[in-house]
Amino acid sequence: MTFEALLAAFAEAVAARDTQRFAALFTPDGCYHDGFFGSHRGRAAIAAMLERFHAGGERFDWQFFEPVAGGSLGYARYCFSYVSKEPESAGPVIVFDGMARFRLGEGGLIADYDEAFDRGVAFVQLGYAGERVVKLLKRYAGALRESPPVQAHLAWREQGAPAPHAAHVAHAAHATPAAPAAALPSLRPPRGG
């Protein structure tokens, strides 16, 4: 299956509420890291997570753009929307965009799925009170800061790492950042600037 076909099957299974077909796109021990519901490992847990989507919404549409894949890694930008069933916002279409990362395993199945998107955009559309949004975002920010890749990054930074004009590339999900690649320009401003 091509990466584009995998994305289409992924989106179709979500829209159809076909939890078993969705879970079958993952390796038996595959993991789905959901931006709202956390990590789910194994097909049964992934199927249950998709069912949980439908507790708070319906008519899910997931559209992928600009897919890029090489070897066992694929990325795609997405736009995701659904009709909310949440008490604060029942009825309107909730929409947000993000970036998806797919690590592919045997047979081209998904071994690990992760995503990045602005949760606050979704919370505001869901009608959550400001205090609730702040509380939720503080929880997510705290979890981010405690995550192994961020802890590794902060340790690397404290070791005096970033040279102002060198790019730094980390390989593999949740890996320790690699040494600087001296030939590439930095994507961040120099310190003190």
Q: For the chain, which residues make up each domain, given as ranges?
A: 3-117, 149-181
Q: What is the CATH number of domain 3-117?
A: 3.10.450.50
**Residues 52-98 pLDDT 10s:** 988 889 999 999 999 999 999 999 999 999 999 988 888 889 999 99
What CA–CA distance (Å, rounded) separates 3 from 12? 14
User: In 2-104, which ranges are E strands?
Assistant: 26-34, 38-41, 57-70, 73-84, 93-104
Mutual angle of helices 43-56 and 3-15, in 10-degree steps:
50
**Residues 141-161 pLDDT 10s:** 999 999 998 999 999 888 887
What predicted TM-score, i.e. pTM, was given to this entire model?
0.79
The answer for residues whose C-beta is within 8 angstroms of residue 124's C-beta and 6 or more apart is 133
Mutual angle of helices 148-158 and 130-146, in 10-degree steps:
70
